[in-house]
């Protein structure tokens, strides 16, 4: 008998043996999509394990296999005890049912239909902070409210294994804090947690260990910090946030009184620069400012001759995670200057907490000016 086919040893909560998942796409472009590729993984009882990796690396599929929602194409998954997937927005809910009815229904589905007591449902609602809306159909709920409800149901079930797929980041800050506290509380009572997230600081903060998935393969398993370091060290593909356009009308700035800033995050692995294109006809000064308005870097005043964009490059995106703003200061015709709105952007997946390590500089690509 193959050793792999043995049951779970004591204290093991989840074990994957050579799990592969291929989505065949006959009728589409004909190629199969390999979501998981021979994944071996063992999670001990009472652990919080972070699952990280780029989009499409198979993180959610991994959770689905563990939940038993989809069968692996090869290999076997085993788990012990009852599982509670923290559901994505709107799951299991019917828009015409009230918050209370939905919570009760979700409970029934998770607990194999033991009908929840009114007390239990009240607890869930209170945790979700939805007391005032509980008798309205969830049709009227915001996505944040729905997510809070679903999260709340899962963390109040008696499951011994919690599967969380990026749900924690949906609620407001207050709710996120309560959610984290609740997960810790459950965990200290022995609940095992598998946490899929792009929020790397959450992983370092909460997880005992982490798994890095890349293109369906386990690239690294280990303590959370080293896995994240290895993940962050990889050349990142920054997703295109789309052009963000800022138009401000003020007299005296330029003949048409407008300044436009485009922000494009170029795609492609290895590319780590951000370009801002702006159009102005007045001399301008740009500053990159962190949310707490501490200046990260700034350019000297740029004289623009005529119309046209200036390419603006951050040589690397080694910024700590957070929200940043790009400010523009434009000289008035009479020599004064006025601060111009801001282009906010978020840096989502970068080194957390390495404030000293900011190799960013702003530089202006003059060629772009001259070319236009």
Catalog residues that contact another protein under the rule CB under 8 A: 1, 5-8, 23, 64-83, 85, 87-88, 90-92, 94, 96-97, 101, 105, 108-110, 112-115, 137
Closest approach of another protein to the CB of residue 69, in Å: 5
State both tokens at 98: 């009230």
Interatomic CA distance for residues 149 and 175, integer angstroms: 11
Closest approach of another protein to the CB of residue 150, in Å: 9
Cβ closest to another protein, residue 216 vs residue 309: 216
Interatomic CA distance for residues 218 and 145, integer angstroms: 34
CA-based nearest residue to 50, from 182, 169, 222, 177:
222
Closest approach of another protein to the CB of residue 10, in Å: 9
Q: Which residue has the tokens 């809070």?
A: 148
Question: Where are any strands of DSSP class E within 184-293?
Answer: 192-196, 209-214, 217-223, 246-247, 260-264, 274-279, 284-290
Interatomic CA distance for residues 144 and 148, integer angstroms: 6
The C-alpha angle 171, 87, 146, rounded to 5 degrees, equals 45
Cβ closest to another protein, residue 64 vs residue 178: 64
Cβ closest to another protein, residue 55 vs residue 292: 55
Closest approach of another protein to the CB of residue 130, in Å: 19
Interatomic CA distance for residues 212 and 224, integer angstroms: 10
CA-based nearest residue to 193, from 224, 233, 159, 230:
159
Cβ closest to another protein, residue 64 vs residue 327: 64
Cβ closest to another protein, residue 190 vs residue 359: 190
Closest approach of another protein to the CB of residue 103, in Å: 12
State both tokens at 162: 């919690």
Cβ closest to another protein, residue 63 vs residue 274: 63
CA-based nearest residue to 224, from 58, 349, 48:
48
H-assigned helices in 189-340: 200-206, 224-232
Cβ closest to another protein, residue 49 vs residue 314: 49
The residues facing 311 across adjacent strands are: 277, 365
Interatomic CA distance for residues 247 and 48, integer angstroms: 46
Cβ closest to another protein, residue 37 vs residue 331: 37
Q: Which residue has the tokens 């980041």?
A: 169
Closest approach of another protein to the CB of residue 32, in Å: 12
Whether the Cβ atoms of residue 353 and residue 201 lie closer than 8 Å to each other: yes
Closest approach of another protein to the CB of residue 83, in Å: 8
What is the Cα 371 distance to its own chain's centre? 38
Closest approach of another protein to the CB of residue 11, in Å: 12
Interatomic CA distance for residues 42 and 11, integer angstroms: 10
Closest approach of another protein to the CB of residue 189, in Å: 17
Cβ closest to another protein, residue 157 vs residue 349: 157
């Amino acid at each position: 008998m193959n050793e792999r086919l043995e049951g779970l040893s004591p204290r093991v909560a989840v074990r994957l043996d050579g799990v592969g998942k291929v989505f065949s796409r006959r009728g589409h472009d004909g190629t199969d999509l390999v979501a998981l590729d021979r994944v071996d993984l063992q999670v001990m009882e009472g652990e919080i394990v972070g699952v990280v990796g780029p989009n499409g690396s198979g993180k959610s599929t991994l959770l689905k296999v563990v939940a038993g929602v989809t069968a692996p194409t090869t290999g076997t998954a085993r788990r012990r005890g009852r599982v509670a997937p923290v559901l994505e927005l709107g799951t299991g809910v019917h828009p015409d049912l009230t918050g209370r009815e939905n919570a009760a229904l979700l409970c029934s589905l998770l607990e194999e239909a033991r009908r929840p007591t009114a007390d239990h449902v009240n607890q869930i609602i209170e945790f979700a902070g939805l007391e005032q809306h509980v008798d309205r159909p969830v049709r009227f709920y915001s996505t944040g409210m729905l997510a809070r409800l679903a999260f709340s149901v899962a963390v109040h079930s008696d499951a011994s294994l919690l599967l969380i797929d990026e749900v924690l980041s949906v609620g407001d800050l207050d709710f996120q804090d309560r959610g984290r506290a609740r997960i810790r509380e459950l965990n200290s009572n022995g609940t095992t947690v598998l946490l899929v997230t792009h929020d790397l600081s959450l992983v370092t903060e909460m997880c005992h260990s982490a798994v890095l998935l890349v293109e369906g393969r386990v690239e690294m398993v280990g303590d959370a910090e080293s896995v994240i370091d290895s993940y962050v060290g990889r050349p990142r593909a920054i997703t295109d946030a789309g052009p963000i356009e800022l138009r401000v009308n003020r007299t005296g700035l330029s003949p048409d009184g407008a300044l436009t800033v485009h922000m494009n995050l170029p795609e492609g692995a290895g590319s780590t620069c951000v370009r801002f294109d702006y159009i102005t006809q007045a001399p301008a000064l740009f500053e990159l400012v962190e949310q707490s308005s501490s200046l990260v870097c700034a350019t000297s005043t740029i004289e623009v001759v005529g119309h046209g964009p200036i390419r603006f490059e951050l040589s690397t995106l080694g910024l700590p995670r957070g929200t940043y703003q790009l400010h523009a200061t434009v000289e008035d015709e009479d020599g004064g200057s006025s601060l111009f709105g801001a282009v906010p952007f978020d840096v989502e997946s970068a080194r957390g907490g390495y404030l000293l390590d900011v190799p960013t500089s702003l530089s202006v690509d003059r060629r772009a000016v001259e070319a236009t």
